[in-house]
């Protein structure tokens, strides 16, 4: 299997997710784009799914050897690791690129400020 675009990523999740996040995926989903790293040293994509009642799940997908993929349920988004720009692929940019660029820049500034404080 190869994931080349948003539709293929969502199709993969539909085949793989457990019941509650799957229902939420079908209700509302937002592709946040590529993150490097996303989990540990691995790059991947994050999809935020929201149920009808407003419960959210952050679903991470990493490419694995042999054209396989692994799913992670994430607790938070490390926006400083967003890798959607300057990629031209919608899979990396996500659904709201301008918003994500801003969130990434703000997270990087916050980290720089924290590092200067620690020095």
Instruction: Supply the range of the domain harboring residue 45.
Output: 6-118
Whether 1 maps to a domain, the answer reads no
pLDDT digits (tens, 9 = 90+) for 30-55: 999 999 999 999 999 999 999 999 99
The reported pTM is 0.89
pLDDT by residue (tens digit) across 66-83?
989 999 999 999 999 999
* Number of domains the chain is built from: 1
Kindly indicate the confidence band of residue 118, based on its pLDDT and cuts at 50, 70 and 90.
Answer: confident
Which residue did the predictor score with more confidence, 74 or 2?
A: 74
Is 72 exposed, middle or buried, given 0-12, 13-18 or 19+ CB atoms closer than 10 A?
middle
Calculate mean pLDDT across residues 13-24: 88
Q: Which of 1, 12, 7 is nearest to 89 (CA)?
A: 7
DSSP string, 28-50: -EEEEEEEEEEETTEEEEEEEEE
| pLDDT attached to residue 2 | 85
> Does the residue 48 lie in any domain?
yes
């Amino acid at each position: 299997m190869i994931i080349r675009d948003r539709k293929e990523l969502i199709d993969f999740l539909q085949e793989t997710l457990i019941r509650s996040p799957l229902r939420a995926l079908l209700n509302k989903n937002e592709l946040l784009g590529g993150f490097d790293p996303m989990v540990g040293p691995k790059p991947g994509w994050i999809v935020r799914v929201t149920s009808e009642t407003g419960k959210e799940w952050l679903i991470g997908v990493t490419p694995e050897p042999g054209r396989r993929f692994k799913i992670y349920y994430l607790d938070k988004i490390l926006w400083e690791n967003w890798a959607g720009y300057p990629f031209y692929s919608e899979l990396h940019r996500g659904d709201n690129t301008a918003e994500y660029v801003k969130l990434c820049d703000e997270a990087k500034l916050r980290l720089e400020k924290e590092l200067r404080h620690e020095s």
